[in-house]
Amino acid sequence: MAIERRPFGKTGHDSSAIIFGAAALKNVDQDTADRTLEHLFEYGVNHIDTAPRYGDAELRIGPWMDRHRKDFFLATKVDQWGYEDAKASLHRSLDRLRTDHLDLIQLHAFIFPDDCEQAFSENGALRALTEARDEGLIKNIGITGHGWTVAAMHRKNLDRYAFDSVLMPWNWFAANHPYYRPDFDETLAYCRKNGVAVQTIKAIARGPWAAGAIEDQNTWYQPLTDEAAIRKAIHWVLAEPDIFLNSVGDVDILPMVLKAANELTRKPSDMAMDKLAEEQGLVSIFGI
């Protein structure tokens, strides 16, 4: 049995509901990365999301593409807002990933007004990416971001350009945030109406690392580690039939995430999620 596949917006690709978040590979060796690839095949994960910011992740994925390029929808990012810098970043990623094309390129952390204005300008990153698409180097263009303003900013930017995908946080805590929830719902509704793929992150974020805590996971936030809690958190997000979840940035926790997604059942109740939040101490990882 494999993880459910869903149409990834209007791209024509059916992606696994869990997308492999390659931040998990940022500081592992190739042997560890290759063992992770075995997990992806075991559960039928067919979509990889990486970025230049993720340490050595692109370099670790490159050898996979030598052998398995046809098996994956491959996405990376650029975080340069000028034309020449974005173009250089894209070509560097193509080299590191050992591929002649990308299925998706995303403007990374595209949430600050000044960055957006530069990227949309005549000498901005978006022109470099649209030219690359015309040349066949990329197929689709998306936007990503963190923080409590990202859903609102995505909605504004979707009015300026027909992006193919968005990526933003979504978990039980975010769903109960008084300002974020309305923005998320509005952006999700727009994406559904217009065939824009919606990727989510931080499903199993517990909170920031507490002072003095032993940071024994490869994540910048403290993740859930209890398997039952992870299962509930994953099932709650993926109960929406057209939402995707980018997996955790830790190769040791990844198998629990994949297993939970592979055993998808009905959406946990609000009461069950409230209990989870209380027991696990869910708090914001983005401040107030």
Low-confidence ranges of the chain (pLDDT < 50): none
- Give residue-wise pLDDT tens across range 165-184: 999 999 999 999 999 999 99
pLDDT for position 185: 98
CB proximity list for 196: less than 8 A, separation 6 or greater: 9, 10, 158, 163, 164, 165, 166, 190
| CATH code given to domain 5-280 | 3.20.20.100
**Contact residues for 234 (Cβ-Cβ < 8 A; gap 6+):** 203, 204, 245, 257, 260, 261, 264
Q: Each residue of 146-164: pLDDT tens digit?
A: 999 999 999 999 999 999 9
Specify the pairing of strand 73-78 against strand 165-169: unpaired
pLDDT of residue 213: 62
pLDDT of residue 164: 98
Q: What is the pLDDT of residue 212?
A: 61
Per-residue model confidence (pLDDT) at position 214: 64
187-214 pLDDT tens trace: 999 999 999 999 999 999 999 987 666 6
